[in-house]
């Protein structure tokens, strides 16, 4: 009897404990769920961070003492890291920058860090055809050679236009580099084997290139405009390869991956702030981001790699969109037209002017016909040709650079044409339009 009572008591006690446990678990379960969810989010961030930051460091340790290298957009991010790494390897580096004072300070700092006295800053504003022409003229008059051209600079941000009235993303990221490459191509040919490295992005896959709507009047959005410019860079790389590989000028596209830089500095609002914060946490640093550019600039025996896309120091398959032969030819001709180089449109190639005349697309094999068609068609983003050429005085030769200028610089000053609803970009460094690459005195220390 006593035993049965004891058992009953134990059972009651157990039941009470179970009830208490149930209540406790009900109290605690939201906290458990929350911590599980938080752990999963942290794990996802960790995996994403690992994935984004995965970098193959340049396996080539060749130096580049005998090479002259231009890096556009060298004042920050990937361009800055590229310039530093190449200077470490002994290259003669031209920092093509749009803020000359910042560029000169950077050149001095790189020279000090690397003990390489051949680092120069030169003014280049890719949003101005005039500035590009001045940069190229000055470079060609002062430098004996050019072995590597790194087309790296980029703009990403709200709608804005270049000095020549072109949509800014397209104008800076693509057209500016097109014109620069065009002006320097003979030097590259002369110094063959030489290389053109176009810094692209996998955003090209999301880009849509409508040559009838360069101003992006229909559908402007920040990412869309950037993606379109990167698609244009991909097609440009393909076309450069097609045109220059026989001269042993090798064209390579480099996809750096997701890199924490200042690229999104102009992205407004909360989205911009979130993206920048995300970039700082998840993306790799610029030194990791420039490794494939270094690889493409320094590796030997890459003639058969021309026209290819590189990522993490390996080739990556280019999707159909990025190697559309017809579109790349049309883009090339359109670009010649936008850079006032219509006479350079090749006669043997079928020229397609995408603008429509009386609702009909004009196709021609004849440059004269092309010009006539252009005249007839209305091209909102094409600035009128300058009425007169304004010759400017030849730039002074820099202290250490060979070959002083022989010819006066011819500078065309096209009347700026504003795009519809174009806004001004926040940052427009005031820089006198003149090159002055000169080594800083610290270099000699």
Ligand X SMILES: NC(=O)c1ccc[n+]([C@@H]2O[C@H](COP(=O)([O-])OP(=O)(O)OC[C@H]3O[C@@H](n4cnc5c(N)ncnc54)[C@H](OP(=O)(O)O)[C@@H]3O)[C@@H](O)[C@H]2O)c1
What dihedral angle (degrees, nearest 10) is formed by the CA atoms of 121, 243, 176, 294? -40
Beta partners for residue 151, in sequence order: 198
Smallest gap from Cβ 201 to ligand X, in A, equals 3
* SS3 (DSSP) at 253: strand
Q: Which of 12, 14, 35, 32 is nearest to 24 (CA)?
A: 32
**C-beta nearest to ligand X: residue:** 77
* Residues 114-143, interacting with ligand X (CB under 6 A): 124-127
Residue 226 among the catalytic residues: yes
Look up residue 143 and give its two tokens: 């430098």
Nearer to ligand X, 258 or 372 (CB): 258
**Cβ atoms 314, 56 nearer than 8 A:** yes
Cis geometry, peptide bond prior to residue 350 (ω within 30 degrees of 0): no
Classified as helix, coil or strand, 217 is coil
Q: Select from 157, 297, 123 the least CA-distant residue to 229.
A: 157
Nearer to ligand X, 227 or 370 (CB): 227
Q: Is 352 in the site for ligand X (CB under 6 A)?
A: no
Window 75-94: residues binding ligand X (CB under 6 A): 75-79
Does 201 participate in binding ligand X (rule CB under 6 A)?
A: yes
> Three-state SS for 357?
strand
Q: 114 with 88: CB under 8 angstroms?
A: yes
# of chain residues touching ligand X (CB under 6 A)? 28
Nearer to ligand X, 255 or 333 (CB): 255
As measured in angstroms, the least distance from the Cβ of 280 to ligand X is 12
Q: Residue 158 interacts with ligand X (CB under 6 A)?
A: no
Contact residues for 13 (Cβ-Cβ < 8 A; gap 6+): none
Nearer CB in complex with ligand X: 187/284 = 284
The DSSP annotation for 51-83 comes to HHH-----------TT-EEEEETTTSHHHHHHH
**Length of the chain (residues):** 445
Residue 316, burial from CB neighbour count under 10 angstroms (0-12, 13-18, 19+):
middle
User: Does 155 sit near ligand X (CB under 6 A)?
Assistant: yes
CB 74, min distance to ligand X, A: 6
Minimum CB–partner distance for residue 43 and ligand X (Å): 23
Q: How far is the CB of 177 from ligand X (least distance, A)?
A: 9
309-311 and 119-123 strand pairing = unpaired
| Residue number with CB closer to ligand X (6 or 427) | 427
Q: Quick one: which segment of 24-32, 68-76, 301-309, 315-323 binds ligand X (CB under 6 A)?
A: 68-76
- Which lies closer to ligand X via its Cβ, residue 82 or residue 114? 82
Kindly tell me which of 80 and 329 has the beta carbon lying closer to ligand X. 80
Of 219-258, which residues contact ligand X (CB under 6 A)?
256, 258
Candidate ranges 150-158, 209-217, 367-375, 384-392; the one touching ligand X (CB under 6 A): 150-158
Among 261, 292, 306, 419, binds ligand X (CB under 6 A): 261
Q: What are the counts of helices (DSSP H) followed by strands (DSSP E) for the chain? A: 12, 12
Q: How far apart are CA 92 and CA 363, in angstroms?
A: 45
| Span from 9-17, 70-78, 185-193, 401-409 in contact with ligand X (CB under 6 A) | 70-78
CA distance 387 to 316: 46
Q: Which of 174, 204, 226, 244 is catalytic?
A: 226
Range in contact with ligand X (rule: CB under 6 A) among 55-63, 69-77, 244-252, 319-327: 69-77
Interface with ligand X in residues 280-309 (CB under 6 A): 283
| Minimum distance, C-beta of residue 83 to ligand X, in the bound complex (Å) | 10
User: Using CB under 6 A as the criterion, which residues of the chain lie in contact with ligand X when the complex forms?
Assistant: 73, 75-79, 98-99, 124-127, 152-155, 172, 199, 201, 256, 258-259, 261-263, 283, 427, 429
Which of the residues are catalytic?
226
């Amino acid at each position: 009897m006593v035993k049965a009572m004891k058992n009953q008591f134990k059972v009651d006690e157990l039941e009470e404990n179970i009830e208490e446990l149930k209540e406790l678990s009900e109290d605690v379960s939201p906290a458990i769920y929350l911590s599980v969810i938080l752990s999963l989010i942290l794990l996802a961030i960790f995996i994403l961070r690992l994935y984004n930051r995965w970098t193959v460091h340049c396996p080539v340790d060749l130096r580049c003492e005998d090479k002259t290298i231009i890096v556009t957009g060298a004042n920050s991010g990937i361009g800055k890291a590229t310039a530093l790494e190449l200077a470490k390897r002994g290259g003669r580096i031209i920092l093509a920058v749009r803020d000359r004072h910042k560029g000169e300070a950077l050149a001095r700092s790189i020279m000090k860090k690397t003990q390489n006295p051949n680092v120069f800053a030169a003014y280049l504003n890719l949003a101005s055809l005039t500035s590009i022409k001045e940069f190229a003229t000055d470079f060609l008059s002062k430098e004996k050679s050019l072995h590597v051209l790194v087309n790296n600079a980029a703009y990403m941000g709200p709608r804005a236009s270049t000095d020549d009235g072109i949509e800014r993303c397209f104008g800076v990221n693509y057209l500016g580099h097109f014109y620069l490459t065009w002006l320097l191509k003979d030097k590259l040919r002369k110094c063959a084997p030489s290389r053109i490295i176009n810094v692209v992005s996998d955003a090209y896959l999301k880009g849509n290139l409508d040559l009838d709507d360069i101003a992006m009047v229909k559908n402007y959005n920040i990412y869309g405009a950037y993606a379109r410019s990167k698609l244009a860079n991909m097609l440009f790389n393909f076309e450069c390869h097609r045109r220059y590989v026989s001269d042993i000028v090798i064209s390579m596209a480099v996809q750096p991956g997701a890199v924490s830089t200042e690229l999104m500095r102009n992205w407004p609002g909360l989205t911009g702030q979130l993206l920048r914060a995300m970039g700082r946490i998840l993306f790799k640093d610029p030194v990791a981001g420039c490794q494939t550019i270094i690889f493409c600039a320094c590796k030997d025996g890459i003639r058969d790699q021309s026209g290819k896309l590189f990522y993490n120091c390996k080739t990556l398959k280019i999707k159909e969109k990025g190697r559309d032969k017809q579109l790349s030819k049309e883009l090339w001709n359109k670009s010649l037209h936008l850079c006032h180089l219509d006479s350079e449109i090749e006669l043997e190639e079928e020229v397609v002017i995408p603008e429509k005349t009386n609702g009909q697309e004009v196709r021609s094999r004849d440059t004269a016909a092309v010009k006539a068609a252009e005249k007839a068609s209305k091209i909102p983003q094409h600035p009128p040709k300058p009425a007169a050429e304004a010759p400017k005085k030849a730039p002074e030769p820099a202290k250490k650079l060979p070959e002083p200028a022989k010819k006066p610089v011819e500078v065309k000053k096209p009347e700026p044409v504003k795009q519809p609803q174009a806004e001004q970009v926040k940052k427009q460094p005031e820089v006198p339009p003149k090159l002055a690459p000169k080594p800083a005195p610290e270099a000699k220390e």
